[in-house]
Copies of this chain bind each other. A is one copy, B any other.
Amino acid sequence: MVLVIKDCNIVGKKGNWDIKIKDGKIQEIGHCLDGDEYIDGNGKYVSPGFKNTHTHAAMTLFRGYAEDLPLDRWLQEKIWPLESELTEEDVYWGTKLACLEMIKSGTVAFNDMYFYMGSAAKAVEEMGLKATLGYGLIDLGDEDKLEEEKQTTLDFIEEVRDMANVTPSVSPHAVYTVSDEGLQWCAELSKKEGIPLHIHIAETEKEIKEQDGSVVEHLDDLDILYEKTVAAHCVWLDEHEIEILAERDLTVSHCPVSNMKLGVGKPMDYGTMKKKGVRVTLGTDGCASNNNLDMFEEVKIAAIQQKMSGDTTMMPAGDAYGMLIDDPLDTGCYAVNEGMSADLILIEGSVPNHDFVSDIVYSLSGCSVTDTVVEGKVLMKDGYVEGEENILEKASYRASRLISKVF
């Protein structure tokens, strides 16, 4: 099976091109190329698909359920009661819905932390995009709980070991929900297995105030910060802590929409991160605090949030676009080049058409994406994903059922 995208524009490359895709990879970029299946790219742009580096996919089911409350009431009265009622079936359909939305808005890979991750993995495999999935390990300092959580983590890694599109991660929730022993065990397991480590760091001021000393220094002492670590949020850090992140070569997942909506107090210090050379990418966080998975929206808000305080040269469009297509999840596609994995999206060109990268960052939205291809497989064609009606119906039912449980 050879797929050819015909007559498309490629971001950063002049002229019109055909892209020939074989065995899941970009085989050739040229003219008048033949294939077995075609996508008409006329008037469209091809870009590497976007990577959402921090989310809790199944939380799509909670979207719109609880808004505009103080953070503690939002968690205690709304989110936790719902989560305590969650079933495998809920996570499966919630993740299917999330995958559908991601495919529709140009995301080809995501980094997830949640519960019932076997169900999430099944949803990802069926939908065809790529994901790094981790069971959110929380022990609250309880040794018995830690043993259970370790086992759940190990079982999940075994369960998905042979899956094509799923990479397991070790996902200790945060410094304030996992004991030092738990954190250390996670770091060791991540290194032993050669799989990513996913953690929340310094999302709120409360987190850093409750820590005796620096959160980052503490995590660094536990050897948890290294090149396979994805650290979500990283808002409340000082320059020295940012230097440590840079030295450890980890990836930050910046979540500006969630940070603003949950009132974390200030923008992440992107300026210092850039100066120190930290690898910064973008995440939507879960739909309870966003409330969607549209990376176009995320990147725009990231770029304008950084400019807000007065320096309009901060996070220029090229940098912002780079954060969408960078590949810390190791999908094998961070540019439209021969040999890359064919994880590509087609985007309807804008009018006027002065600068497509600026259009992606500042003016377009997820619904400009017309086609999504992952490893050469067409997941969305002309705006349609096979089976989408069924997913909407089932996810809708699961969400209603879930809420009926807490009333």
Chain A 251-264 interface 0/1 with B at a Cβ cutoff of 8 Å (1 = within)? 00000010111111
Give the complex CA separation of A274 and B305 in angstroms: 23
Which positions 129-168 of chain A face chain B at CB distance < 8 Å?
none
Verify if A294 is at the interface (C-beta below 8 Å from B). Answer: yes
Chain A 349-379 interface 0/1 with B at a Cβ cutoff of 8 Å (1 = within)? 0111111101100111111000000000000
User: Which residues of chain B are near A304, meaning CB under 8 Å?
Assistant: 257, 260-261, 301
Which positions 368-407 of chain A face chain B at CB distance < 8 Å?
392, 395-396, 399-400, 403
Verify if A240 is at the interface (C-beta below 8 Å from B). Answer: no
User: Which residues of chain B are near A259, meaning CB under 8 Å?
Assistant: 308
User: Which residues of chain B are near A308, meaning CB under 8 Å?
Assistant: 259-260, 263-267
Nearest residue (CB) in B for A397 is: B352
Q: Is the CB of A305 within 8 A of B260?
A: yes
Q: Is the CB of A309 within 8 A of B265?
A: yes
Interface residues on A, range: 35 or more
Q: Is the CB of A260 within 8 A of B307?
A: yes
Give the complex CA separation of A202 and B15 in angstroms: 45
Q: Is the CB of A355 within 8 A of B67?
A: yes
Q: Is the CB of A362 within 8 A of B64?
A: yes
Verify if A316 is at the interface (C-beta below 8 Å from B). Answer: yes
Q: Is the CB of A64 within 8 A of B301?
A: no
User: Which residues of chain B are near A311, meaning CB under 8 Å?
Assistant: 263
Verify if A313 is at the interface (C-beta below 8 Å from B). Answer: yes
User: Which residues of chain B are near A62, meaning CB under 8 Å?
Assistant: 354
Q: Chain B interface: which of A32-40, A110-118, A285-293, A322-330?
A: A285-293
Binding site for B on A (CB under 8 A): 60-65, 67-71, 74, 97, 257, 259-267, 287, 290-292, 294, 297, 300-301, 303-305, 307-313, 316-317, 350-356, 358-359, 362-367, 392, 395-396, 399-400, 403
